[in-house]
A and B are shown apart, each in its own frame.
Chain A
Amino acid sequence: MNADAILSVRGIGVRFGDVEVLSGVDLDIRPGEIHGLIGENGAGKSTLGKVLGGYYRATRGEIAVNGRTQDRWDTPTALANGVAIMHQELQLVPALTTAQNVFLGLEDHRRGVLRRTEADRLAALMEESGLHVEPNALAAHLTIAEQQKIEILRALAREARVIVMDEPTASLSKAEIDQLHRIMRQLRDEGRSVIYVTHFLDDVLDVTDRVTVLRNGELVQTRDTAGETKASLVSAMLGGVKSETLYPPKPRDVGEVVLSVRDLFSPNGTRVDQLEIRAGEIVGLAGLVGAGRTEIARAIIGADRAQGTVEIGGQPLQNRSISGATEAGVVMVPEDRRGQGLVMSLPVRANISLPHLGRVARGGVVAQKTERGIAKRLIEQLDVRPAILDGDVSNYSGGNQQKVLIGKWLAGDPRVLILDEPSRGVDVGARETIHNEIVRLAKSGVAILLISSEIEEVLGLATRAFLVDRGTLVDEIDPDRVNVGDVLTALFNHQGMKDGVT
């Protein structure tokens, strides 16, 4: 272990189910530095930040503070050792005041009776740190930027030496970001360390002293920021070598327009002027996390309230609800298979038939034979293992759960299939099966909209693709002519332009 490091990790590995999210990561955080953690979507930067802050338990590897290896590392131990984490979703109690939130768990009391000294203590802390907030305001009434200050003060109240900030700027304005950067520098000048997890490269170049790049869960490099440029960071994030994944040959026969979307607006920021997908096309949407790709899909299928026209084969969708869309043949495979996709307490068969119950039933009674027939066909088509109709889906591997989820939506023979992160968290074998199935469906005349955080997957499968930023389609790209680096650079540039405006 490195003796000058305040916090160091060796050989950190994290598995979620059967997916390796991080492996063999070594990192040293020095006292008094701002350390950036960057990487593509899914590279593991946020996971590493959460491991450092004690929020996620590492499956393998060691963590040492000031050279002393720790046997356990969870949030309380991390705090006791001066390591605090500031989550993307801030963890404040809305009904308490700023001061009460800052000293939550550290209240001054006499035999359990509060002495109500928080406001004075906060005043002292603010004096010392130069961070100013209104002590008696309720947390619920504060802006995100102010709430973040509370989180930082909270870390300082616990005498944190290292503060992990996980994507802190996601919902801040330009002015607020600058202010946060000033606070970070000030913390550094006091000898504290900040670990800054972000996907904004300009911010990394602006404020960090050193930067660590991750790719596919592995460490690429840790270097002084002074010697880096946006281009050098992007190329480090992507790596020199093309990854090994082979994609099936793309479908090239294009038919009539099946899905036509015009002037689609939704309250959560979707603005799509025009999007047309023809039979046999795979149209990809690429964007950074939070760019609003999922929201576009939800607006199309009627999961969120939206204005605008959606036409299927020339017929406008009248009934803007999910069941209306399903009947018209537009379906979406959602991104979160546990939260939004599968009902874990129902068997495979019942999960597959769930959106189609109306059609597999006669007089309200489920026709078991029809239901089993449909499930059997899809289990075979997608090679679900184990191939048991009544299998307990909660015991299946991630890849096989994902196949069941896709099968659930293929069971209705859709004309338009929207796939949101179709291969997230699945093993290589299942991924290949899913990719082959997507291409096979397109060849059979289904119009496909593919959303993926993996730019490579979009380029590898899509016949056309759009870049998405803040809910709009900003650029159309030809997936056969551009590489991942071009796309990523373009995405960061769009982001930069928008930042300049705000």
Chain B
Amino acid sequence: MTRDRIFTFLQTYAVLVLIVLLMAVLSVSSDSFLTARNLLNILNQNAPLAIMASAMTLVIIVGGFDLSVGAIFAMGSVTSAWLAVNVDPYLGLALAPLVGFLLGCANGIVITALKVHSFLATIATALIFKGIAIAVSDGRLISARIDAFTWLGRERFLGVFNAIWLMVIFAVLLTFLLNRTTLGRRIFAVGGNEEAAILSGIRTNRVKIAAFSLAGLAAGLAAIIATSRVALGQASAGEGMELQAIAAVILGGTSIYGGQGAVWRSVAGVFLLALVNNGFNILSIDPFFRDLTMGLIILAALGISAIGQRR
């Protein structure tokens, strides 16, 4: 293999190689790791983050960053619990993703209308969304212990948690969207060479707005799963999830410079981080080493991404 090919391979499959290695190590060092119960739990626990990372992939491919998805998650959490308690549980589950979609759309409009970098614009909108979430919930926890609300996050279908089903369906749909539809193609084109996309008659602003709207939708969807699981809506939910989602996408080898990437790899990135976390718990190692290890893994992924870009 030439040097170029090695980097392309690493950028594409490094995350899978690392997952396999880590699973092998953990299976050997602990009996409680390789059990259906533990593995299903890991998937279930991380399904909301995986949904957000899937959609974040689109935003990063189009050449943006979305630092507001954590705040949209908080809005989703508060909206769904408030509606469940005060109006109807099903309405809460249905409307929160829609709210997320609209907030994402607002992000896209702000970014394209003001022509500011999405990194900066979403820092600002995150504060606004968070502020609204606090105002709506009046700064309190909204308890929603209603079976018609909590089934989504707690129950299973065919022996597998609903959350896992939703995650798989969402990731498959986004993969289809990215690889088979005109929107997906335009997302790659805008991120790969915006000038060429403009000269090809593509309305690049609409493409960006679509990507951010999907990221918002995903955050809303993740929020209803997590909120119905804990039966609590709160404005402090989702804090830091935007950074975890971005880290997972980069770990999956999606180029931070845009134009390249795949949804499945971001999902794999989420589970790589989850496995590291789980492994440190099982082996009860000092959490200091856990953060250190995760930081080093992300740094290595960034390095590979940057080298890939320079080729």
Contact = CB atoms under 8 A, between A and B. Distances in A.
Contacts of A329: none
Contacts of A501: none
A343 B197 contact: yes
A354 B255 CA distance: 21
Contacts of B284: none
Contact of B192 (A339, A346, A408): A346
B188 A364 contact: no
Given A332-B199, A343-B259, A357-B182, 6 more contacts: A303-B198, A339-B195, A340-B196, A346-B259, A358-B182, A366-B182
A358 B203 CA distance: 12
B189 A354 contact: yes
Please indicate which of the listed interface residues A344, A357, A361 has the most CB atoms of chain B within 10 Å of its own CB: A357
A409 B202 CA distance: 14
B3 interface: no
A334 B193 contact: no
A148 interface: no
B186 interface: yes
B199 A334 contact: yes
B252 to A, nearest CB: 16
Interface string A328-369: 000010100001111111100010011101100100111010
Contacts of B259: 343-346
B86 interface: no
A341 to B, nearest CB: 6
A366 B180 contact: yes
Interface stretch (A186-194, A226-234, A319-327): A319-327
Interface residues of A, number: 28
A346 B189 CA distance: 7
B201 A355 contact: yes
A361 B201 contact: no
B27 interface: no
Contacts of A353: 185
30 contacts: A321-B201, A322-B199, A322-B201, A323-B203, A340-B199, A341-B196, A343-B192, A343-B196, A344-B192, A344-B193, A345-B192, A345-B259, A345-B260, A346-B192, A346-B259, A350-B185, A354-B185, A354-B196, A354-B200, A355-B201, A355-B202, A357-B186, A361-B182, A364-B182, A365-B180, A365-B182, A366-B180, A366-B181, A366-B182, A366-B185
Nearest to A340: B195
A29 B259 CA distance: 46
A340 B194 CA distance: 8
A346 B61 CA distance: 12
Contacts of A355: 200-202
A323 B199 CA distance: 9
Contacts of B200: 322, 354-355, 408
B95 interface: no
A365 B185 contact: no
Contacts of B260: 345
A105 B192 CA distance: 35
A350 B202 CA distance: 14
Nearest to B8: A392
A336 to B, nearest CB: 8
Please indicate which of the listed interface residues B193, B195, B198, B200 has the most CB atoms of chain A within 10 Å of its own CB: B200
B183 interface: yes
Contacts of A361: 181-182
Contacts of B183: 364
Interface in B185-223: 185-186, 188-189, 191-193, 195-203
A218 to B, nearest CB: 32
B11 to A, nearest CB: 12
Given A350-B185, A357-B185, A343 B199 contact: no
Contacts of A321: 201
Contacts of B201: 321-323, 325-326, 355
Contact of A350 (B188, B191, B195): B188
A345 B185 contact: no
Contacts of B180: 365-366, 368
Interface in B164-184: 180-183
B198 A322 contact: yes
A211 B181 CA distance: 58
A334 B197 CA distance: 12
A346 B258 CA distance: 12
A421 B243 CA distance: 45
Please indicate which of the listed interface residues B181, B199, B260 has the most CB atoms of chain A within 10 Å of its own CB: B199
A353 B180 CA distance: 13
Please indicate which of the listed interface residues B181, B191, B196, B255 has the most CB atoms of chain A within 10 Å of its own CB: B196
A345 B181 contact: no
A63 B255 CA distance: 40
A334 B180 CA distance: 27
A350 B189 CA distance: 9
A344 B181 CA distance: 19
Nearest to B203: A323
Contacts of B186: 357
A339 B255 CA distance: 19
Contacts of B188: 343, 345-346, 350
B137 to A, nearest CB: 37
Interface in A290-339: 303, 321-323, 325-326, 332, 334, 339
A365 B181 contact: yes
Contacts of B192: 343-346
A254 B201 CA distance: 30
A392 B181 CA distance: 20
Contacts of A408: 200
A354 B181 contact: no
A127 to B, nearest CB: 45
Please indicate which of the listed interface residues A322, A341, A354 has the most CB atoms of chain B within 10 Å of its own CB: A354
Please indicate which of the listed interface residues B180, B182, B186 has the most CB atoms of chain A within 10 Å of its own CB: B182
A345 to B, nearest CB: 4
- Per CB-CB distance, the 4 closest pairs between chain A and chain B, nearest first, are A323-B201, A343-B192, A345-B259, A345-B192
Interface in B279-298: none
Given A364-B182, A365-B180, A366-B180, A343 B198 contact: no
Please indicate which of the listed interface residues B193, B195, B255, B259 has the most CB atoms of chain A within 10 Å of its own CB: B193
